[in-house]
Amino acid sequence: MKNLDKAHRRTLALILGGGRGTRLHPLTEQRSKPAVPVAGKYRLVDIPISNCLNSRINKIYVLTQFNSASLNRHIKNSYTFDLFSRGFVDILAAEQTVDSSEWYQGTADAVRQSFQHFSTTDHDYVLILSGDQLYQMDFQKMLEDHVNFDADVSIATIPVDAEDATGFGIMKTDENDNITSFIEKPNADQLKDWTSETGDKMKSEGRNYLASMGIYLFNKKVLRDLLSENEGADFGKNIIPASIGKYKINSYQYEGYWTDIGTISSFHEANLDLTNNLPQFNLYDNENSIFTHARMLPPAKVVGTSLENVVLSEGAICHASRIEHSVIGIRTRIGRGSNIYDTYIMGSDYYETIEDIEEFNEKGIPAMGIGERCNIKNAILDKNVRIGDDVRIIGSSSLEERETKAYKIVDGIVVVKKDAILPNGTVIE
């Protein structure tokens, strides 16, 4: 086994912030995708950053292009290293240069245009990560495999069944876990030729196909050569297929929980899964902490509320009648007699004073949070919403998709937009 003691120190992580995040609209209307709040108190970008830090990788760039102001603030307020660590988490926003006047055209193009900024950072390996996935992975194990197999490129893969395989890029491997071919989202008729050896446990579950997780580990020179020799904009569609047969590409098989939360329905499902008795994503792991901005908020306060399968974040004040299968974000205020089901409430950025509430009431504007006697089900309420009294929001598959200034219905889920106001008696069902 080769010496790996310092390999993590020679690894640079690049977290791709993505484009406009249209699949997560309206949550990305005023913020970039990595800045979307998740699990009541975190941001999406905290997940890959925490995975890196738990893996002792502390040289991290976040590449972003759209609505990056709130992401910049979050990174600045959350990730500060001491003077002796040489670690950093920095934002690299798209910029016009002498060499390029174009915005990022894709994942590979984002890295290509930013490559000049990496030259001053001492590294041998480059870890490419997505900013919109929920998982906990030890990248040191992936790095160990990469070095021991003398790979040029390693791709994290996850076994999937035939039903899921049609939605992913599928890799085919040989007996040594070398990736020999790749197909993007094969149809059902093509799958019979794309099975790989995934191990007895995975095969017993029907998971015979290796899907790319969009997590790549490159040798520095190999990445530079691939980006300079190929004009393709994306890693999955262009760079990876071009590298097969030319470089030694290793499949690092991961069998834990992983989900792409790039759509409203997957985002809603992933958050509500956290309320289960044994959620697939473990927030309570001693070894794998999820880091974020330390806000120094007071503990949550519950008065007369029946709670069942609820994630309740700090600073929340709940007078509701019942909350079930829901995630309640920081500083959330919920009024008396209200019932909340299957809903993610992101909370508020600040507390309103009594004087503020009285002033808004005089203008006919509800206080920040959820009013009294409300019924809310199958919804996502973005930050700083003002929901009046006797409001009814019932999402369901029977609802037609539509968008107003205050909310949008996607896949039967009612998404109330950031800073939106729903007056007393509003009905959405």
What is the tens place of the pLDDT at every residue in 101-149? 565 667 788 888 888 888 778 899 999 999 889 999 999 999 999 999 9
Residue with tokens 């990736």: 179
DSSP characters for 65-133?
A: -SS-HHHHHHHHHH----TTS--EEEEEE----SS--SPP-SHHHHHHHHGGGGTTS--SEEEEEESSE
Euclidean distance between CA atoms 270 and 35, whole angstroms: 16
pLDDT value of residue 292:
95
Angle subtended by helix axes 220-229 and 107-114, to nearest 10:
110
301-428: CATH homologous superfamily?
Hexapeptide repeat proteins (2.160.10.10)
Predicted pLDDT at 3? 57
- Using a pLDDT cut of 90, give the percent of the chain over it: 71
**Residue 112 vs residue 226, higher pLDDT:** 226
Distance CA 173, CA 158 (A): 13
| CA gap 144, 371 in Å, rounded | 53
Q: What is the pLDDT of residue 426?
A: 98
Question: Would you state the pLDDT for residue 1?
Answer: 44
Arithmetic mean of pLDDT, 176-204: 91
Residue 405 pLDDT exceeds 60: yes
Average pLDDT over residues 231-247: 87
C-beta of residue 127 within 8 angstroms of C-beta of residue 111:
no
In this prediction, residue 105 carries a pLDDT of: 67
> Helix, strand or coil for residue 35?
helix
Q: Are 51 and 58 in contact (CB under 8 A)?
A: no
Q: What token pair was written down for 220?
A: 């520095």
pLDDT of residue 32: 85
Is pLDDT above 90 for 43? yes
Q: What is the mean pLDDT of residues 29-47?
A: 93
Domain 7-263: CATH superfamily is Spore Coat Polysaccharide Biosynthesis Protein SpsA; Chain A (3.90.550.10)
- Encode pLDDT of 250-305 as tens digits: 999 999 999 988 899 999 999 999 999 999 999 998 888 999 999 999 999 999 99
Domain range annotation of the chain: 7-263, 301-428
